[in-house]
Structure formats: C-alpha cells, structure tokens
Structure 1
Amino acid sequence: MAFFTVFGNPVAHSLSPQIHDAFAAQHGLGIRYLPSLTSAGQFRRAVSDFFYCGGAGANVTVPFKESAYELVTHLTTRAAKARAVNTLIPLGFGQLLGDNTDGIGLITDLRVNCHQQLNQRAVVLLGAGGAARGALHALLEQPVASITVVNRTIARAEELAQDSQDSRVTACAFDALAITSGALVINATSISLTDKSGTASLPIATAELAKATCAYDMMYGAEPTVFMQQARSAGVTNVFDGLGMLVEQAAVAFKIWHDVQQLNTPQVIASLREKLKCK
C-alpha cells in the first residue's frame, strides 16, 4: 500500500485525506493518506523521515509552502514562478521534485465549476502574499485583459506586479481601487481565516465592489466566508468559495502520483460540501 501525507500546522482540519481517499476509490487504488503535524524547526526532518520510510508523495499546506520551496532539489516551472511548493514527488536517491498545483486548481475551478469566462476579463487580486503570487502566475497564463493587485501595503503589491514582468499587471492600495465593470475579484488575503467573528471586511468601497460580476474567495468553510458575505451585500451576483480549488489542486497532485488521467472532481466537491453543512 502506498503512503501519502500532508504536512501542516495546524493540519487536523485538513480535507486532503478525504479528497485523496475519494479519488483512490474512483480508481480502486489502495492508499493510506494521513495528516502530519510538524513545526518550522522540524519540517525538514519530518519530510526527510517520511520519504526515507517509503512515502510515495506528500502535500504541503500553511505555513510550510515556502519552506518546501527551499527544501526540494528540483522544481517545476509553476513552482519556481510561485516560489512556493504544495506537492512533493520523490525522484529517488534523496531527490525531491517540488510542484505547485494551487494555481491550476484555481483556474480549473473558475472555468469548469464556476463557469467563469477569463478571456479578456479584468481581474482584481486582493492580497500580495504567497497565495496571491501563486494565483497571479496562473492567471497570467490565461488570456485575461488585466490584473490589478491590491494590498494594504502598496509596496508589496508593487513588488508582486513588478516581479510578474507583465504589462497587464498593475498595483494599487485599497483606497485607490477602481474596479472595471464586469470584473472578477479574487480574495487571496487571509481575512476569511483570521476573522473568526465574521464581522470584519476588506476596505473596499461598496460601490466599487458592486461593479464586479463575480467574487471568489480562495478560502472556504461551512458558512459563507467574510469576503463572500461582503460581496453579496454589495450585490455581486456570482459568489464562490475555494472548496472547488482545493479539490482541483488535489486532483492534479493525485494524477501526478498515480499516473491517472480522469477524476470525477465535481462528485468529490459535492460530497465535501454536504459534509461541511452537517458539521
């Protein structure tokens, strides 16, 4: 039986074991996928021990994606651009390939599950951290018209825009944000994770947010996230969370590890959605 894990802290809440078990059931594969709680000081050792003991593959979640980027011996192009790794593939002889499937998971969810058109679409990307970086480079591979990176600290947004080396990307602060009518707004900030009260909101003028036709939060939960609630209050008609992104990025990793081509991701998304509602 092949062994897999996800490294994180915290990690007990991770849906990755359920997702990969569901994919394995679709193909009649016997796998064992368990979460691995570790720390910043022990992360490198934990990864080394896992693969030394025969681990067949691993995922990496917060806060270790940047650490995994520094750890691996080889990188895929998309991981190199994102400067973060969420999927580890053993190559033998102590070598590890690092991949980042978050970006492609986001694009697949937007296009396939959320039915969003990206061709010549104006995109507003909220945040300038690791999640935003991974999303930005994936979006730039699509024929979007423009991407505005918005952040509380304008310098970080400007750094990300400049680093993209793409004329379609600009940066601005929240108080200077002017949203193009029909835009897609993606939340890559941590507000939906850090605000447990559900009362906070991003400093976006309601009139500006109302110009968007789709709001997407890369986070997810049993209830609509803070950003989703803010978007709905502004009158945005299409509002989605990131559960589909989570499943779609996992599907890419699963296909790499198991060399399979087809997975029924909508079935897994629907099943997880029901389980979240029952909690």
Structure 2
Amino acid sequence: MKKWFAVIGDPIAQSKSPEMHNAWYEEENVDAAYIPVHVKHEHLQQAVASFKLLGASGWNVTIPHKQTIIPFLDELDELAAKMGAVNTVVRTAEGKLKGYNTDGPGFVKALEQVIGTNKRDAPILLIGAGGAARGIAFALQLIGYSDITIANRTVENAQQITDEMNEGQAISLQQAEQNLAAFQIFIQTTPAGMTTGDFALPFSLEKFPASAIAADIVYNPLMTPFLQAAEQKGATIVNGLGMFVHQGAIAYEYWLGHYPNTNAMIARLTAQLGGK
C-alpha cells in the first residue's frame, strides 16, 4: 500500500520539503508521496484527525503550528518536550501520533559535516532566543557542546533558555558585539538576512575573529549579510541549507527507517538557489 506524508503550515506554498522528499522517494524507489497542505490555525485539530483517519504515515509541521499541534498528539520525544515544539509527526505501529523536533539535530549534523566533531568544547555564541535558537541550544547540549552563550535583544528570553539548560549564559546583543573575540563558533538564528525579511546584520562584526566559524539558519539567500561579512573576515561558513536538508532527512529516517542521500540533495538545492 502506498504511503503518504505531508507538510502543514500557513502559508505553505514556499516549502521545498515536498520537492526534497519526493526526490528521495524516486531516488530510492520508495512507493510514497509527500504533499503540501495549507492548514489554518482554526482547522488544525480537524487536520490532525483527518490525517489520522486517512492513514498518513507522518507529516512535517511548520509555522505557525509547531507549538499548537502538541495537544493533539499522543506523546513527544525528549527533545520536542524540552523545546515545547514539534516539526515532525510519526504514526507509530500502534497507531499513536508521536511528535519529534528535528530542527536542532538537523543543524548539528549540518554544522559537523563542515567542521567535524572535535570542536565540541569551543565557546559558542548563539544569536537570538526564539524557537530555532531554543532547539539548536538543546540539541548542541545533548550532543556534548557545553560552552554556550545566548545573545538576544531581550536578555530575559535568552536567560530563560540557559536556565532550562542549567548551563551557559545570557547576554545582550550589545555585550556580544563588544566581546566577539571570546567566541569561536557563531550561530545566527534570527530572521535577519532573509529574502522576505530584514536584509541586515544582527550587530556589527567589526571585532569578528578571523579564525571563527559562522553559521546561519537562513538558506534563502544562501549567503546572508551575516555570512558575507563573516567570510570577508576570514571565517569558515556554514549556510542554512544543510540544516534544512538534514532536518528533513532525520524525519525521513523516522518514517522509513534509513537516512537518505543528503549530499546530493544539498548540491541540487544549492544549484537551484544560485550557489556553488
């Protein structure tokens, strides 16, 4: 019987997840389909019930449903519970709906694909304290990164994450800007630089260290102003496309039991987005 999967959100037309997952199915001769479904907030509970009734094997969840879907699921994995957000739903063998969050682990996989696994003791500056930053912070901590500082315009929001982690520190963007030399890995998680948003830097990189690693979770454009400025300083660059592909690949593995070809997918989407 053909399996089917989906991604739900509002809006949803911009999502590249259907293209990515359907390409993997074709590449691996998997009898499955993946579709985008536009779900308004007021219809979320009905959508979840319909997916269950119609036999969906699983689906991805994007803005604005990552938190609000939780009451309609049967259980959460440890990371999703800590984050209070779900981006992947798996229908278990018992018919239960289990929520996962693959965003943070996807970022860590993408980061370590570029820099390796020997920098887990390096001091990290995580810029932003929203849902993405939260997921990345917990995922970094789970895999063994321990020296994490979170910088945010509202320090209290950053402090809330470090309090829940029981380690790390929270600082303002101004403090971060004055102390950039204290960090080796920089992770930009704010919307700054998105094609559809504020094409800007979170703060000045005048004091950015030349030997640093600079990562951004935005993948359109591939080279955000933050990455462009960091590259001019001599930094190693990690764009947001790897996170997008790996978070999808982790969901794919939850659903189908094995990890798809991420390198070919990154190359394919990089070409589409005008990168090298």
Under a length normalisation based on structure 1, what TM-score does the superposition of the two structures give?
A: 0.90
**Residue 55 of structure 1 corresponds to which residue in structure 2?**
56
Alignment partners' CA distance in 2, 1:174 and 1:135: 18
Alignment partners' CA distance in 2, 1:110 and 1:28: 29
Deviates more, 1:11-20 or 1:111-120: 111-120
- Deviation digits for residues 234-268 of structure 1, max 9, x if unmatched? x14212211111111111111111122x4221011
Give the letter for the 1:265 counterpart: T
* Contiguous gaps of at least 5 residues in structure 1: none
**Residue 218 of structure 1 corresponds to which residue in structure 2?**
217
Alignment partners' CA distance in 1, 2:107 and 2:74: 26
Q: Quick check: 1:109–1:244 contact (8 Å CA) kept in 2?
A: yes
> CA distance change for structure 1 residues 224 and 194 in 2, over 3 Å: closer, same or farther?
closer
**Residue 106 of structure 2 corresponds to which residue in structure 1?**
105
- Deviation digits for residues 53-104 of structure 1, max 9, x if unmatched? 1111100112211112333110111111121100001237763100111111
Q: Quick check: 1:113–1:244 contact (8 Å CA) kept in 2?
A: no
**Residue 189 of structure 1 corresponds to which residue in structure 2?**
190
Give the letter for the 1:161 counterpart: T
SS at match of 2:33: strand
SS at match of 1:190: coil
**Residue 232 of structure 1 corresponds to which residue in structure 2?**
231
Under a length normalisation based on structure 2, what TM-score does the superposition of the two structures give?
A: 0.91
SS at match of 1:206: coil
> CA distance change for structure 1 residues 219 and 99 in 2, over 3 Å: closer, same or farther?
same
**Residue 263 of structure 2 corresponds to which residue in structure 1?**
266
> CA distance change for structure 1 residues 9 and 154 in 2, over 3 Å: closer, same or farther?
same
Q: Quick check: 2:209–2:235 contact (8 Å CA) kept in 1?
A: no
Alignment partners' CA distance in 2, 1:222 and 1:136: 23
Q: Tell me whether 1:250 sits opposite 2:248 in the alignment.
A: yes
**Residue 15 of structure 2 corresponds to which residue in structure 1?**
14
Cα offset for 1:154? 0.8
For 1:1-279, list aligned pairs within 5 A.
1-91=2-92, 95-115=96-116, 117-166=118-167, 169-177=168-176, 178-181=179-182, 183-193=184-194, 196=197, 198=199, 200-207=200-207, 209-210=208-209, 213-233=212-232, 235-260=233-258, 262-277=259-274
Cα offset for 1:110? 0.8
Percentage of matched positions with identical amino acids: 31
> CA distance change for structure 1 residues 63 and 194 in 2, over 3 Å: closer, same or farther?
farther
Give the letter for the 1:151 counterpart: N
Alignment partners' CA distance in 2, 1:252 and 1:139: 16
* Contiguous gaps of at least 5 residues in structure 2: none
> CA distance change for structure 1 residues 100 and 50 in 2, over 3 Å: closer, same or farther?
same
Q: Quick check: 2:222–2:240 contact (8 Å CA) kept in 1?
A: no
Cα offset for 1:193? 3.1
Alignment partners' CA distance in 1, 2:121 and 2:74: 37
Q: Quick check: 1:26–1:263 contact (8 Å CA) kept in 2?
A: no
Q: Quick check: 1:74–1:97 contact (8 Å CA) kept in 2?
A: yes
- The number of residue pairs the alignment matches comes to 272
Alignment partners' CA distance in 2, 1:8 and 1:83: 17
